[in-house]
Amino acid sequence: MDNKDIAKEWFEKADLDLSSANFLLKMKPEPLEIICYHCQQCAEKYLKGFIALNGGEITKTHDLVALGKQCSEYENSFVEIQKILINLTDYGVHVRYPFYIDLEDEDALNATEDAVKIKEFVLRLIN
């Protein structure tokens, strides 16, 4: 399997996370933690797909800032999305465990918008 095929698999999985987040937004009450988690996962998988496309080694981390730095080795414009990566990173771990995080509807909407921004950013770079 070449780098392009590996990246495609990452991007397909990322799109499933984004679709799941959008579907869950329609639930009442919204499962805010799970929506935010899927948004973080979408961003993580787009970053890992970008790394794979460029032949890099995929590290086992949920830290989007660290992944963004790794992506910067191939394209320095990743600094432009660092704030978004910071916003989403905590949703990769903290929301999966029984530690209280005070989330509101707006947080889930912002996370979804941020995941879309990451997706669009990566796709712009590779097209």
Confidence of residue 93 (pLDDT cuts 50, 70, 90): confident
Question: Domain span at residue 56?
Answer: 3-126
Confidence of residue 95 (pLDDT cuts 50, 70, 90): low
| Domain tally, the chain | 1
Q: Is it the case that residue 98 has pLDDT exceeding 90?
A: no
Q: How far apart are CA 114 and CA 83, in angstroms?
A: 10
pLDDT in tens, 103-126: 899 999 999 999 999 999 999 999
pLDDT in tens, 25-36: 999 999 999 999
Which residue shows structure tokens 């704030």?
83
CATH number of the domain that 93 lies in? 1.20.120.330
Confidence of residue 83 (pLDDT cuts 50, 70, 90): very high
CA 123 → CA 27, 51, 73, 91, distances in Å?
A: 29, 13, 17, 22
Task: Say what the pTM is.
Answer: 0.94
